[in-house]
Amino acid sequence: MSIQWFPGHMTKALRMMQDNIALSDAVGYVLDARAPASSFNPELDKITGKKPCVYILNKCDLADDEKLKQWTQYFTQKGRLCVKVSATRLGDASRIASAFVEATADVADKYRKKGIVRPVRVMILGIPNSGKSTIINCLAGRKSAVTGDKPGVTKGMQWVRLPAGVDLLDTPGTVWPKFDDQNTAYRLCFVGSIKDDVVDLYDVSLSLLEHLKNQYPQLLAQRYRLDSVDMTALQLHEEIARKRGFVVRGGETDTERCSKAILDDFRKGRIGKITFEVPSDMYKHV
């Protein structure tokens, strides 16, 4: 299956970002910690240019701690600000706010010297379902941005004032118009950044099992009580379906129900803490 997904509202969203980036002093780039490289949208890089940037590795409670160390080291070596967070975890909001203040310190100082009194402005960018709006709500201490566990919840631009003298601009999640690398597309499906109803979930779940078998065989075996994962993804799917009782009349396995269960297990962290990518997987160096 070839995955391509770029609904019309994303074209409008990219235009809105281009129109508003000049109003922003810095960028907060939200990445899914389970697939940081796939979270980098090259279309967004074209828009932000050389604006000061804070990279926010979100959903760290679901991600591989060792690989996250590699990612933070990567950003540090590049001289980039990076914070690891789980958006709903107490205390993480203050760390993000502090990073924004640090990233915009030079801009704020220029304003003061010119006698300009206004908050610094940070545009929040990211792929769908990366947790942008949840982060803004945690920072603001109230429900300021619309959130959801499905991609495409934020449809327009929203400015939100923070107590720290920072204005945040929430933006719709966007992917890029065409996926040249299907591994990227599949990983975005795994983390829920591409809507489930526009892809073949059986095919996506088979790809997920292949990724897990190659990178996290022990976690896969433990979750589904498998004696071995030394089999094809299709055979793994069949084995998991029978162990979970996903069988229909005639003894056939219920592939749809099993596919949804496998994806849900991964997204809810039931399989374990997983990150599919390391810095060498970046489509380009940031």
The residue among 110 and 221 whose pLDDT is bigger is 221
Instruction: Quickly list DSSP for 160-182.
Output: EEETTTEEEEE------S--S-H
| 27-83 tens-digit pLDDT | 999 999 999 999 988 878 788 888 899 999 999 999 999 999 999 999 999 889 999
User: 7 pLDDT band (50/70/90 cuts)?
Assistant: low
- Indicate the pTM of the whole model: 0.88
| 108-133 tens-digit pLDDT | 888 889 898 888 899 999 889 998 88
Q: Does the structure show a pLDDT above 80 at 19?
A: yes
Contacts of 61 (CB under 8 A, 6+ apart): 86, 89, 269, 273
Question: Using CA atoms, how far apart are residues 158 and 152, in angstroms rounded to an integer?
Answer: 14
Q: How many residues does the chain have?
A: 286
How much is the pLDDT for 283? 57
Domains of the chain: 8-178 (3.40.50.300), 182-267 (1.10.1580.10)
Question: Using CA atoms, how far apart are residues 39 and 127, in angstroms rounded to an integer?
Answer: 6
